[in-house]
Amino acid sequence: MYSVLICDDSMVARKQVAKCLPPDWEVAVHFAKHGQEAITALEQGKGQVMFLDLNMPIMDGYETLKTMGKKGLQSNVIVISGDIQPEAHERVKALGALEFIEKPVKPETLQEVLRKHQLVELEEEEAELDESALPTDIRDCYQEITNIAMGQAGDALARILNVFVKLPIPNVNLIEVSELHMMLQDIQHKDSVSGICQGFIGPGISGEALFILSDSSFGDVAKILDINEEVDDQVQLEMLMDAANILIGTCLRGLANQLDLYFSQGHPVVLGQHRNIAELIKSNKNKWRRTLAIELSYGLEGYNVQCDLVLMFTEESMNVMNYKLSHLLED
């Protein structure tokens, strides 16, 4: 049986890739959060095929490819990245990657690449359309408004924090309760990340923002926020709140401007600290089935800061948003 290794620092992206694999492909799927973990997995004989992200903390995609070369680790590497500069394509291919796929990854593209390199059997079957998937034009539309919101937010952040913000490519998806459950459980089980959620509401649109920061980022966040005190638990928590607040606030404002409305934000809640996440979701399970999730994975240039922001909207909100965005969808 084939072993497939998916290496990406974003949880949603990892699951996204896993979901795009051919459904009848009998493989064992392994995950890695950064290059270092991927190298360890390869050394254990995992990952005959590897899907590799480029922008990651600790060890990025380029370093991973270089290290593999140095150590003589073999794998069929397919790079999946949001970096759309042509030079990135050339560079990874020179380092031994088979192929380059742009984010967000689509099942058809991924399966075509696998067939092209004969990693799966050639089967002439039409890729089934996933009925739960978001129509492409609507997805593009959300992606575009998020991009614009991010541009505005990035500019504001850069000015106030004096840092260069690496603008992420937003990942727009409909996710099921179970997927969110997995994501939150990830946060709970790892001590290395902290999370905050905050409700927001506007006319006809409601949702929650989820902010996840890896704990290794705290030192650098303190530097950026100009905190000179010793970073104890208390300060750390407050920093998490402040960082979340700036990111969620600027991003929501950008979105609200384009939708021509105003979101009011509730008080933020720290996840996992004071309540059990599994229970939190379970009690809500009957109320909703799936949610529109916009995932943003941020980095700051020159700092080891990695954080994920997930904006989740209720299904009902989508009707209102689609209506508000209908002018963008017209030809």
Partner 1 sequence: MANEHPDDMAEFHWMMDMVQTVDVGIVVLDREFKIKIWNGFMESHSGMLPSQVRDKTLFELYPDVSQAWFSRKARPVFELRTRAFMTWEQRPYLFKFPSYRPITGSEDFMYQNITLSALASATGTVENICMMIYDVTDIAAHKNQLEALQVQVSENKEIQATQNH
Binding site for partner 1 (CB under 8 A): 156-157, 159-160, 225-227, 234, 237-238, 241-242, 245-246, 248-250, 253, 265, 267-268, 270, 274
Q: Can the peptide bond before residue 104 be classed as cis, meaning omega within 30 degrees of 0?
A: yes
Please state the closest distance from residue 175 (CB atom) to partner 1, in A: 26
Please state the closest distance from residue 192 (CB atom) to partner 1, in A: 21
Please state the closest distance from residue 107 (CB atom) to partner 1, in A: 37
Please state the closest distance from residue 252 (CB atom) to partner 1, in A: 8
Neighbouring residues of 149: CB distance < 8 A, sequence distance ≥ 6 = 251, 253, 254, 255, 257, 258
- Between 39 and 205, name the residue whose CB sits nearer to partner 1: 205
- Between 43 and 238, name the residue whose CB sits nearer to partner 1: 238
Please state the closest distance from residue 273 (CB atom) to partner 1, in A: 8
Please state the closest distance from residue 311 (CB atom) to partner 1, in A: 15
State the CB neighbour count (10 A cutoff) for residue 5: 22
- Between 234 and 286, name the residue whose CB sits nearer to partner 1: 234
3-state secondary structure 149-214: HHHHHHHHHHHHHCCCEECCCCEEEEEEHHHHHHHHHHHHHCCCEEEEEEEEEECCEEEEEEEEEE
Please state the closest distance from residue 246 (CB atom) to partner 1, in A: 5
13 and 110 Cβ atoms separated by less than 8 Å: no
- Between 76 and 198, name the residue whose CB sits nearer to partner 1: 198
- Between 185 and 245, name the residue whose CB sits nearer to partner 1: 245
